[in-house]
Structure 1
């Protein structure tokens, strides 16, 4: 049985250590000077661009399969794993089992895999199906290019896929140059490394074709001792770059921690590449903090993805033969903006649920102070009751609001610096703190302008009319009828016609995504299933004409191409002002 502390893993973990960070461009410059002295450790995230699901993707698939098989329901009921409501339903079911680790626990992947497929043969078949037909991405070919240029000699991987070997086959014209070491050939690894038969790839979990597929909790803890010792020894000779690896299984993390205990370890540095704004797992943070305490160069490197990072490295490394990479670049599909439809030719286009943000804030207030994290900042804002929008990033507290109000909100923390922070476009390409701040500010601007209410969710903010009697909602009533009421047989549960909104980046610009949906008040775990069924029944017959009409209503309502929409309406300090285009995104086949 999972303990109570394990089931509350995400909520209760605290980290006392502080780990350094290294900017992506800084890492690229360092690598250009010492690449030959840095090993790589690749996890599942490095294979995502090749179409292979990450461990996180498979975790939700395991939950889905357990739910469908044990509840005996149609797979269609929980088919959309990107839907937050579906994930909540699956997680509630998994929590009810009681014997599986908590959401986000490092042991979650292995435990779910073993629970879904107890047989080793079935696990082998599952992995084989996931990697079948996968082709190396730009990053794998770039890594092989670095190998050929002697800027990468040794790669360790926890992956079962053959993508490193396939990348080498493209660059070298065959796989003969690459020495691949799996569990059954563990002794070959030390010989190849000692004799310098580069390049070398070591599969820490065994190749997927191996007799022993090491991918369950017990098996991971029994990691092959020879390969583990070899990794520890290698960490005393070279530095390490970790990419696409979360640090979930104990055996690899135990090995890295053991390597760190040796004097003179990671002589060329320890760099952990990390996507997104979420903090890495606690053991990763502790490892990087311990490395910093030993004055080992490196730290956490925030990146966009594996492919783009390798592109940055190749760009700075001189004397590389990039012939194969250039061929890949020439074969890449080029997506161009669709021309605006003109006249009445009526050629087929697909209307998308995205409205372009034609104007966004370029700066916000930055406050360097002792506020501990996002939760501290949000709590301080809520307690103050002042009109301030803010978040916490590594750069400091980022906020919109009157200067006096921002200072008042943070008065409990020692303010060391109070200046402006640029909101760069590159920081809006992914779920950064800046993009999250803009989403919160845009939501505030829309509810302020259109007299709406908002329920903030992690995946999307839910907006609904503050008063259904307001005349501005008459066109919406004509489209769908009633705008709200009580759910039958659930008197405590009220519903409203509303809209889910979130931000996304595409075609080198920021978009507001619009999703007409039912918004509930009084939602609990007990009535969540009834709410899901009610929402499905309300929207199941909304075919293309009805959805098009709804998108037309919301996009027309929100459009403000010539006028700013301020979030706070203040005259002093830093406000967030937006402009929204009046044409939704669309896609169509290009014509000569």
Structure 2
């Protein structure tokens, strides 16, 4: 029997308020993701580069054939090759990074050269400077990191105006780390070895292995008196994760809480889930916090804290690229330079149903709804089950789990800035509303829903057919792979309001590992010549089709319960030059 781990989910705004109250009692643990906006690749990104190098060199193929490592089909092709060799750890295993790095470059000198080339020239991001600002104001005191770069050092030098303010200790001097913490010589940065930089711990001299054990013991001791915020760290290092797990086992650990900041569409690694589950079972406050990125998160934290000198931050923020809303075009010279694919959501639900009961996890919620055979929309959050639907249907689904509260839950627009459970529920409801009377089918993805005509041959799609031609068919040599002209939808937040992003897409059914690469090639060939004119016509068609003239659109059509009602504008966002 499979046992599902259950760990708390903390909304990003909730985390910011908790940090405001506990900042001085929270340490930071930084991974490579915290340096991503400085141009340094994450561990996961470097791992794919290692795999790509092995694939190209061993298969003797053109690098261009697997150049786009963001393409799922390319990744699948490379991973199938790596897995078929039978010589590497399974994908996602704790030692996968080290094993494949060593296979790609067996020489430690070559691995060191690679790392130095990927970190050279990087400058502190807004997030690093914000963290240094927190250190200067004594809202944070200790930073632990597995990173190779010196971005925290550089940020502190800029904010403090000196290179002597930050005490840095590492594997070579674990006693300095202990003395710094016991003597409260703040701020302090302690660099952990992890399992792999240029060589594995098992391959280091005995003296260094002993010093690593000392450093990890210092970390365990620090966790007895302080909470921790983990940012940009995937949890791949077995030695670090085992150290944090040991700290949880010690009892009375992380008095300020354990908060794991997580971004991206994929769930955290099993080691992270296990740690957070164990921490929750031990009564430790915190959980997984879904964020946009490190920079935006630290910006939100600084905003809530008083008595901070933000002079350096304000200067950096002024240099950051950003967009602002522009007035509607007027006159012959007022047309936008760029038409954007974002539709304003003029009306969205202000409340949903909140159900508190003894049900755990998204999978259990889906199972309960399926078992009750009811048509409702639900998601599981820290506040409880949030839902739209008829009250009788919702009670039928969740009464078996002992409902203790059945109330309304306010949906605050500001909380939709991040990819939260509420935003996911609204996207599901909006897609349902648009498909319900629009002759569309829905294919739900983690952050995007794919909609396509349910009957592509219907005359109601004649306008779309005039723009792109044929609307559906079968991919050659793959009779099970059916394509349809469609659109991808997701909710985003900009200019302090929600938007529906509309992306014309080719939607496939019958996808598998064997035909995924062919599907990608087909979609690329079909859309590669859609330049400004055709693309403008496509965006215009979908904007008008989905907005329906701004009439209210209902997701479920219920009256006795909580309905999700939306209104869209078909006037897409735009950008233009300021001035003549």
Give the shorter-chain TM-score range: 0.7 to 0.9
Residues 459 and 470 (structure 1), Cα distance of their counterparts in 2 relative to 1, 3 Å cut: same
Alpha-carbon contact 2:452-2:484 (below 8 Å) kept: yes
Alpha-carbon contact 2:17-2:304 (below 8 Å) kept: no
Out of 259, 279, 285, the residue aligned to residue 272 of structure 1 is 259
| 2:313 paired with 1:325 | yes
State the shift of 1:418 in Å. 1.5
CA shift digits 1:311-356 (9 cap, x unpaired):
4554555554444334434555553113323333376612222222
State the shift of 1:451 in Å. 0.8
Matches within 5 A, 1:400-415: 400-415=388-403
Matches within 5 A, 1:101-500: 101-205=89-193, 213-214=197-198, 224-236=212-224, 238-262=226-250, 265-266=253-254, 268-276=255-263, 280-288=268-276, 290=278, 305-315=293-303, 319-333=307-321, 335-345=323-333, 349-500=337-488
Q: Following the alignment from structure 2 to structure 1, what is the Cα–Cα distance between the partners of residues 314 and 517?
A: 52
5+ residue gaps in structure 2? none
Q: Following the alignment from structure 1 to structure 2, what is the Cα–Cα distance between the partners of residues 333 and 439?
A: 28
CA shift digits 1:441-493 (9 cap, x unpaired):
12211221211222223353222212223221111222222222233333333
Aligned to 1:14: 4
Cα root mean square deviation, aligned:
3.4
CA shift digits 1:528-556 (9 cap, x unpaired):
33333333332232222222222222222
Residues 164 and 215 (structure 1), Cα distance of their counterparts in 2 relative to 1, 3 Å cut: farther
Q: Which secondary structure state, in structure 1, belongs to the residue aligned with residue 363 of structure 2?
A: helix
Residues 380 and 354 (structure 1), Cα distance of their counterparts in 2 relative to 1, 3 Å cut: same
Out of 22, 31, 39, the residue aligned to residue 22 of structure 2 is 31
| 2:572 paired with 1:584 | yes
CA shift digits 1:260-280 (9 cap, x unpaired):
4546655x5343242359765
Alpha-carbon contact 1:205-1:214 (below 8 Å) kept: no
Q: Following the alignment from structure 2 to structure 1, what is the Cα–Cα distance between the partners of residues 494 and 39?
A: 20
Residues 383 and 239 (structure 1), Cα distance of their counterparts in 2 relative to 1, 3 Å cut: closer
CA shift digits 1:179-231 (9 cap, x unpaired):
2223334444344445554332221129xxxxx94465856995823322332
Q: Following the alignment from structure 1 to structure 2, what is the Cα–Cα distance between the partners of residues 98 and 40?
A: 38
CA shift digits 1:59-105 (9 cap, x unpaired):
44444444444444444444444444444444444443444444444
Q: Which secondary structure state, in structure 2, belongs to the residue aligned with residue 514 of structure 1?
A: strand
Alpha-carbon contact 1:181-1:188 (below 8 Å) kept: yes
TM-score where L is the length of structure 2: 0.87
CA shift digits 1:156-194 (9 cap, x unpaired):
211111111111111221212222223334444344445
State the shift of 1:397 in Å. 1.7
Out of 26, 37, 50, the residue aligned to residue 38 of structure 2 is 50
Q: Which secondary structure state, in structure 2, belongs to the residue aligned with residue 183 of structure 1?
A: coil
Q: Following the alignment from structure 1 to structure 2, what is the Cα–Cα distance between the partners of residues 402 and 336?
A: 40
Q: Which secondary structure state, in structure 2, belongs to the residue aligned with residue 559 of structure 1?
A: helix
State the shift of 1:56 in Å. 3.2
Q: Following the alignment from structure 2 to structure 1, what is the Cα–Cα distance between the partners of residues 412 and 89?
A: 39
Alpha-carbon contact 2:291-2:419 (below 8 Å) kept: no
State the shift of 1:382 in Å. 3.5
Alpha-carbon contact 2:16-2:304 (below 8 Å) kept: no
| 2:551 paired with 1:563 | yes
Aligned to 2:523: 535
Range with greater deviation from structure 2 (39-48 or 388-397): 39-48
TM-score where L is the length of structure 1: 0.85
Alpha-carbon contact 2:31-2:145 (below 8 Å) kept: yes
Alpha-carbon contact 1:183-1:205 (below 8 Å) kept: yes
Aligned to 1:526: 514
Residues 85 and 246 (structure 1), Cα distance of their counterparts in 2 relative to 1, 3 Å cut: same
Aligned to 1:5: none
Range with greater deviation from structure 2 (127-136 or 91-100): 91-100
Q: Following the alignment from structure 2 to structure 1, what is the Cα–Cα distance between the partners of residues 423 and 415?
A: 7
Alpha-carbon contact 2:112-2:198 (below 8 Å) kept: no
Residues 71 and 437 (structure 1), Cα distance of their counterparts in 2 relative to 1, 3 Å cut: farther
| 2:501 paired with 1:513 | yes
Out of 492, 501, 518, the residue aligned to residue 489 of structure 2 is 501
How many residue pairs get aligned? The number is 573
Q: Following the alignment from structure 2 to structure 1, what is the Cα–Cα distance between the partners of residues 570 and 299?
A: 36
Alpha-carbon contact 2:8-2:382 (below 8 Å) kept: no
Q: Following the alignment from structure 1 to structure 2, what is the Cα–Cα distance between the partners of residues 85 and 351?
A: 30
Alpha-carbon contact 2:231-2:262 (below 8 Å) kept: no
Q: Following the alignment from structure 1 to structure 2, what is the Cα–Cα distance between the partners of residues 196 and 457?
A: 48
5+ residue gaps in structure 1? 1-10, 207-211
Q: Which secondary structure state, in structure 2, belongs to the residue aligned with residue 560 of structure 1?
A: helix
Q: Following the alignment from structure 1 to structure 2, what is the Cα–Cα distance between the partners of residues 577 and 77?
A: 46
Range with greater deviation from structure 2 (86-95 or 411-420): 86-95
Residues 422 and 245 (structure 1), Cα distance of their counterparts in 2 relative to 1, 3 Å cut: same
